[in-house]
Structure 1
């Protein structure tokens, strides 16, 4: 690994001179500056961002907090953030909060200790006081809040689309999974689905649901015991839909003839399931990029045309829903 001493030796200058060039501090003759920069380029030297941040009290780092890195939806968000930040010469420190406030607090402290210039958070604590007193700019991703800039998808419309597509494909006895009540985005999609179902001539039941696959596995078993006549399930996300699909096939239901299932998110796994999962697609990668752009504008004190950016959702038709019969 190339060090600052290697650069100094290559350029024939002191370590202090290299440090002045790197941090643009103090006077350095132009010829000397060129020698140092040529040595940096030739040796492909990468400055230690943590060390530089400690010296300058500023860095080229941002913190990204995810609630559950095992859920494939969140790495898609992270990739969008990373690609946009990398294009601007910024690097990420990623924290996995495991939906635990204490872990989230620890990661925020870690971010502060590393002098990050901003935080993007996709965790479940958007409505708490956790972020109120931070001097670091914060943008929420896949979460909505009135106190900070945010990027999220149209959950209300997503819920409506899921219910509408389920109804128009013939399901009459529907179970709707309600996501975590502390997440406004989850409750938006729930409300959208409820509004659509109430306007239609169908029976429906509501079951509380988390976003984890393990919880969904347990819930799927009790779902079919409690509502054996169910012919349509609107899941809270694709992981819960996958668990329900697995259980439905295990007990001998024909998909989609006996039971239709619609997920939410369109994670990469959705198209690989058999039968492949019909779902509501959130543009996760694009949401990540937009959050990164919004954070950089906030950091650079640029005016925000939109403080809260809502992105569109679409229905993706695959094999867990029936084809719509066309008249004529």
Structure 2
């Protein structure tokens, strides 16, 4: 395997100089940089994508920016993206922003320094002018914003479907868990559920939450049953919260689904492993990732006829936290 030391020896420079060229960090003279790039090309130094992009000004790298890699929904998206890109010889650079604007900026800078030819983003700061200044093909994933090409599912329909399903299954005192206010898909789901609940002959309450994290979901579930101990139906903001509600309901001695029915959102793999297994609204994460990658590649190739907005379907997946009809 060719190493950075081999490149340094071939170019007649130090390892530190090669590192500066690779990372585009620090000053390197034009002639020296050219020697290093030529050595990389001759030796086919790995990672080849970086070497080629520096030497030929070409790249097979795509950036993918996610808001929270610990949420099992997002690895499903990423896998769909990666599988589709790899078929065309592209490779993925992954960034996890943790919903932190500073981290998001740092990852975008890293993508640019590595000469990515396109960007997929599922984060929540797209309204800022940052993305407009990138001059890169950009596709929004799991959300839609303005003029950007987008691949997303119909959150409003999904929220409405969850509410209608609980009502049809006999729930009369429903608690709607409202997702974080800064996350647009969460608000779409909330609005969809509200549209249905507001027109139905049921009592309902809203529990606002600020996070989708595993750590905080337990606290939200505890708060739900403290505030609304007699609730007989819960529309969770996502599956993580839904599973936390299952655990808390069982801890309180409630029988699921006889005493309380629960519907999650996303259909992460853990839904079928919880006890009881979680009924949920499925959005096709893997396929969304694949379609977003296809759309981005079409834009990179200049295919003007490609569809620039794709809304994917949602469906109710019945398991054991809702009553069988």
TM range (shorter): 0.7 to 0.9
Q: TM-score, normalised by structure 2?
A: 0.86
SS at match of 1:62: strand
Residues 174-231 of structure 1, C-alpha deviations (whole Å, 9 max, x = no match): 0101112223222111111111111110011111122222222111111111111110
Matches within 5 A, 1:19-98: 48-98=48-98
2:216 is equivalent to residue 219 of structure 1: no
Is the 1:143–1:183 contact (alpha carbons within 8 Å) kept by the matching residues of 2?
no
**Greater CA drift, 45-54 or 114-123:** 45-54
Structure 1 segments unaligned to the other structure (5+ residues): 7-15, 24-35
Post-superposition offset of 1:54: 1.3
SS at match of 1:257: coil
Is the 2:283–2:315 contact (alpha carbons within 8 Å) kept by the matching residues of 1?
yes
* Corresponding residue of 1:148: 148
2:119 is equivalent to residue 99 of structure 1: no
C-alpha RMSD over aligned residues? 2.2
C-alpha separation in 1, matches of 2:202 and 2:126: 35
Q: TM-score, normalised by structure 1?
A: 0.85
* Corresponding residue of 2:293: 292
Is the 1:71–1:212 contact (alpha carbons within 8 Å) kept by the matching residues of 2?
yes
C-alpha separation in 2, matches of 1:130 and 1:215: 30
2:319 is equivalent to residue 318 of structure 1: yes
Is the 1:235–1:262 contact (alpha carbons within 8 Å) kept by the matching residues of 2?
yes
C-alpha separation in 2, matches of 1:304 and 1:243: 45
SS at match of 2:133: coil
C-alpha separation in 2, matches of 1:92 and 1:163: 38
**Greater CA drift, 188-197 or 314-323:** 188-197
C-alpha separation in 2, matches of 1:178 and 1:200: 18
Is the 1:61–1:92 contact (alpha carbons within 8 Å) kept by the matching residues of 2?
yes
Matches within 5 A, 1:126-145: 126-145=126-145
Is the 1:81–1:291 contact (alpha carbons within 8 Å) kept by the matching residues of 2?
yes
Which stretches of structure 1, 4 residues or more, deviate above 6 A after TM superposition? 3-6
* Corresponding residue of 1:269: 270
SS at match of 2:130: helix
Q: How many residues align?
A: 295
* Corresponding residue of 1:112: 112
C-alpha separation in 1, matches of 2:260 and 2:303: 51
* Corresponding residue of 2:303: 302
SS at match of 1:106: helix
